Every structure is written in structure tokens, then in C-alpha cells.
Amino acid sequence: MKFTCTKENISHSLNLVSSIAGKQVNLPILSNILIQANDSGVKLIATNLEISISVNLRAKVEKTGSFTVPAKTLTDFIHLLSEEQVELEKQDNEISIKCGKSATKIKGMDAEDYPVVPNFEEEHPFTIEVNSFKQALSQVVVACAKNEIRPELSGVSFNFFTNNFSGLVLAATDSYRLAEKKLSVLQGNDEIKVIVPARTIQEIIRLLTLSKDQQAENNVRLWVGENQIGLRYDNFEFSSRLVDGKYPDYTQIIPKEFKTEAVFPSTTMINKIKVASLFTTTGVNAVSFDLSPEQNNIGISSTSIQTGEHSSEIEAEVKGEENSILLNHRYVLDGLQNIESEEVEFKVNSGEAPCLFQGKGKDDYLYIVMPIRQ
């Protein structure tokens, strides 16, 4: 195996694959990247047996072959190179790297020992605009459960062309808050429901953010199977196992009507909550929201035995009944920071019922928070 490429190209490709290769005590070779050089080019592959990614590296191949190299060592070394042209060649159980006047050898392992990465079945294909897809994933993944006591809640529900919506509905909940996002699908119309692990969502967001050709390619391709999701964009292919199970019917907790509705400027409210959060009890994170139609404002207050107490007000359009609700400030901030609107609607029934946040006049994204019971 021998090939030449630019430092920029191999550095970008390694950035895409290297995070998948982790420390695997039982299978040390999974800490390596598989490099395959053939007549059509070079491919870099990494897997942790749950997630797999392969990246096409533009290179001039002089000799075909394959080899595996420790991901961290290779990535860190390539990043430190100053010359533009890099030559890699397999020599016995090492890979030789020549760049300018420097020559380096990194020990690796035979490619035959690397797990076979299965090709994903290209069934149930969908095409989605890349930036709206990446944004939608970021908006919902914040609400996933952080533990796997209930595995289905540690993932994001993907509902394609179900519940009377002709597109994709993403949803996530950890039982304390719920995020739902609707987005259009450019191609594909199969009706299917799956649960994608939160760590897979985070990895997809990372890959789409890193991809350098976002201006050249506007759409991402998805394939959804019974136990696997596949994605193709730019110069990489990505696949992941799905969460086995059925997602709970979260639509039951979305209130149909509200007794109090308010509209406030998002940035101002975020700053007020951050100040109030300095005076909350650790772990409870309770901030009180008092909605006053008479005063046309929302009072924000908090109390802590350790740090003291705080109260402030924000001007708002408030309609309906006077109402108060106690909420976890972290949950509220997660939602507000993902609502892409200068003004936010805040809808409340009582201090005992879930409340709703969404962009003013927008119904494609909603965020629900359960109250802290007093």
C-alpha cells in the first residue's frame, strides 16, 4: 500500500473518522483506523461496532493494499505536519509517513483483523436539506434522557410521514421536558418510525458541521432500515444501529388549550433566567415565573439558602388568567436557546400542568417543560 495526498485532505478525513475509534479494552484494534487503498482511491474506515463511518480520501495511489493505524496517533501527527504533500506507505507492520524532510513510522495492525463493516441496506430512502436537518437534530437532542434506564428515551424518535404530517417529525423527551420538530422531506414518502440513539445524533451533527463542502452539496441522503440508519453526505458514509423498542405516545402530554399566554423577547428572558439561576438550590434549579395580564409582565424569581434570593420582571404581552409556575431553569434555557425566533410564546395552564414554549407564530418547533411540584 502506497499513496500520496495533501495534508489538508487527509487531515479533514481523519477529523471525520477518528472520534469513532475509541479505547476498546476487549478489542484493541477498534482504536485503529482502517486504511484501504485501491485503484479508485483511498478509504478511511472506523467503527465501534455500534456506529461506522467511511470517508473517501482524494489521493494518488501507487500501490493498493490495506492496513490499520492507531487513530489518535495518526490524527495528532498529521495535524502537526507543516508540508502540503504527504506520502504514506505500508512497510511490514508499520506505516511510513514522509512529508518534506521528515520521515516517521507508526506501528499498526493487519487489516484482516479489523471487523467487517456491513454495507447498509439502501431501503426507505429520504433526501433532506442539510442545514435544516442539522438544526432540527440540535433542537431536539437536548431533551433526550442522559441515562439508559429506559433505552427508548435515550434516543430521538424519527417519524416519517406519520401522524398526518407529510414530512419528518423528530421528538425527544426525558419525562421532564419534550422537544418536537417538524421538517420537510425533499424526496421519499415511506411511512416509518424508528428511534436513533442520542450519541448517534451528536455524531451526525458533528460530521455535518465538519464537512467542508456544505456549500457544494445542499442535501443529505438517509436510509432507514429495521435496525439501522444510514447517511451519505459530502465524502462520507455513516451508519448506526437503532434503539430497539417503541417510542411512547408523547402527543398525549401536549395540552390543546391554555389559560394564560404570553409573548416575550427571547434574548432578554434568557439573560433574566441566567441571573435568577445564580440564586437557585443546586439540583432543584427552581425559578418561579409569575404571569400578570394586568401588569403585562412576567416576574422571574429564585431563592437559595446558600446564595440568597433574586427577583426581576420582564415586559410581555400577557393574555388570559394570572398564573404562576415553577420550572427547572436548565430545561427552560435549553429550549429557549434552540428556538430560532426573537419573540417566544409562553403558554401556561397552572403550576401543576406542563407549559409550552415556541417561536411567535411558528408551529414547526415546540418545547414543553413539566413544572416542579411545590
Name the least confident of 58-67, 184-193, 214-223.
214-223
User: What are the residue boundaries of the structural domains of the chain, listed by start?
Assistant: 2-113, 125-250, 254-369
Position 25 confidence tier, pLDDT thresholds 50, 70, 90: low
Position 269 confidence tier, pLDDT thresholds 50, 70, 90: very high
- Give the Cα separation of 333 and 331 in Å (integer): 6
Q: What pLDDT does residue 10 have? A: 96
The answer to whether residue 359 scores a pLDDT higher than 70 is: yes
CATH number of the domain located at residue range(s) 2-113 in this protein: 3.10.150.10
Position 149 confidence tier, pLDDT thresholds 50, 70, 90: confident
Name the least confident of 85-99, 114-128, 236-250.
114-128
- Give the Cα separation of 37 and 113 in Å (integer): 17
Which superfamily does CATH assign the domain made up of 125-250 to? Answer: DNA Polymerase III, subunit A, domain 2 (3.10.150.10)
Q: What pLDDT does residue 215 have? A: 58
Q: Are 51 and 200 in contact (CB under 8 A)?
A: yes
Name the least confident of 110-119, 128-137, 170-179.
110-119
The answer to whether residue 258 scores a pLDDT higher than 70 is: yes
User: Amino acid letter at 212?
Assistant: K
Mean pLDDT value of segment 160-187: 95
Q: What pLDDT does residue 242 have? A: 95
The answer to whether residue 214 scores a pLDDT higher than 60 is: no
The answer to whether residue 67 scores a pLDDT higher than 90 is: yes
- Give the Cα separation of 248 and 366 in Å (integer): 17
The answer to whether residue 118 scores a pLDDT higher than 80 is: no
Position 226 confidence tier, pLDDT thresholds 50, 70, 90: confident
Q: What pLDDT does residue 55 have? A: 96
The answer to whether residue 314 scores a pLDDT higher than 70 is: yes
Dihedral Cα 193, 161, 187, 52, nearest 10 deg:
-10
The answer to whether residue 295 scores a pLDDT higher than 70 is: yes
Q: What pLDDT does residue 301 have? A: 97
Report the 10 Å Cβ neighbour count for 301: 18
Mean pLDDT value of segment 153-164: 93
Q: What pLDDT does residue 167 have? A: 96
Q: What pLDDT does residue 212 have? A: 63
Mean pLDDT, all residues of the chain: 94
Four-residue CA torsion sign, 183, 188, 191, 197: negative
Whether 125-250 and 2-113 are alike in CATH topology: the answer is yes
Mean pLDDT value of segment 216-234: 91
Report the 10 Å Cβ neighbour count for 221: 18
Q: What pLDDT does residue 22 have? A: 77
Q: What is the 3-state secondary structure (H, E, C) of the chain?
A: CEEEEEHHHHHHHHHHHHCCCCCCCCCHHHHEEEEEEECCEEEEEEECCCEEEEEEECCEEEECEEEEEEHHHHHHHHHHCCCCEEEEEEECCEEEEEECCEEEEEECECHHHCCCCCCCCCCCEEEEEHHHHHHHHHHHHCCCCCCCCCHHHHEEEEEECCCCCCCEEEEEECCCEEEEEEECCCECCCCEEEEEEHHHHHHHHHHHHHCCCCCCCCEEEEEECCCEEEEEECCEEEEEECCCCCCCCHHHHCCCCCCEEEEEEHHHHHHHHHHHHCCCCCCCCEEEEEEECCCCEEEEEEEECCCEEEEEEEECEEEECCEEEEEEHHHHHHHHCCCCCCEEEEEECCCCCCEEEEECCCCCEEEEECCCCC
Q: What are phi and psi of 351, to 5 degrees?
A: -75, -5
- Give the Cα separation of 271 and 267 in Å (integer): 6
Q: C-alpha grid cell for residue 273?
A: 433566567
Position 288 confidence tier, pLDDT thresholds 50, 70, 90: very high
Which superfamily does CATH assign the domain made up of 254-369 to? Answer: DNA Polymerase III, subunit A, domain 2 (3.10.150.10)
Mean pLDDT value of segment 10-17: 95
User: Amino acid letter at 15?
Assistant: N
Q: What pLDDT does residue 117 have? A: 82
pLDDT: which is higher, 177 or 282: 177
Q: What pLDDT does residue 315 have? A: 97
- Model confidence pTM above 0.85: yes
